[in-house]
Amino acid sequence: MKRIGDMRFMKRLYSKTDVLKDSVCQNCKDENGAMPTHNAARQADAQCLRIIADIAPESFSVKSESGFTPAHFAAHKGYADCLRIIAEVAPELFKVTDDRGFTPAHFAASEGHTDCLRIILRLLLNYLPI
């Protein structure tokens, strides 16, 4: 089965922009309840994130079943390139907590991803009111 986040699948899915725009891809969740943005961030697929950002940037704000955003997934795995794209599209996600109260910064710090933590902190300090 193709995972939602696979580049070939993404190109085919997102070539049907009317379907995507109408539903913000709410029905595009995989068997684990993850959105294409979640899988792309979890798999370090910056190219997929860029495609989604161009077509449906609002889909970045949809949370997973456990309250994760794409920023949570990328921070947890240490994918700085993905975090940069997410920061361009939806900087507000860096202040969002999951179902346990953790932000992407918590995940980056707990996993020792200092490059990701720097990106997040720089964004929070420079661009978002605290």
The domain of 122 spans 7-126
Q: What is the pLDDT of residues 7-33, one digit of tens each?
A: 666 666 655 555 545 444 556 777 777
Please calculate the CA angle 94-39-112 and round it to the nearest 5 degrees. Answer: 50
pLDDT at 2: 46
Rounded Cα distance between 38 and 129, Å, is 26
Q: How many domains is the chain built from?
A: 1
Q: For residue 85, what is the domain's CATH number?
A: 1.25.40.20
Tell me, yes or no, whether 24 lies in a domain. Answer: yes
pLDDT at 7: 61
Tell me, yes or no, whether 2 lies in a domain. Answer: no
Tell me, yes or no, whether 1 lies in a domain. Answer: no
Q: How many CB atoms lie within 10 A of CB 26?
A: 11
The average pLDDT across 77-84 equals 97
Please state the pTM of the whole predicted model. 0.80
Beta carbons of 60 and 86 less than 8 angstroms apart: yes
pLDDT of 116 over the 70 cut: yes
Question: Collapsing DSSP states into helix, strand and coil, what is residue 25?
Answer: coil
pLDDT at 23: 45
Q: What is the pLDDT of residues 39-65, one digit of tens each?
A: 999 999 999 899 889 888 988 999 998
The average pLDDT across 76-97 equals 96
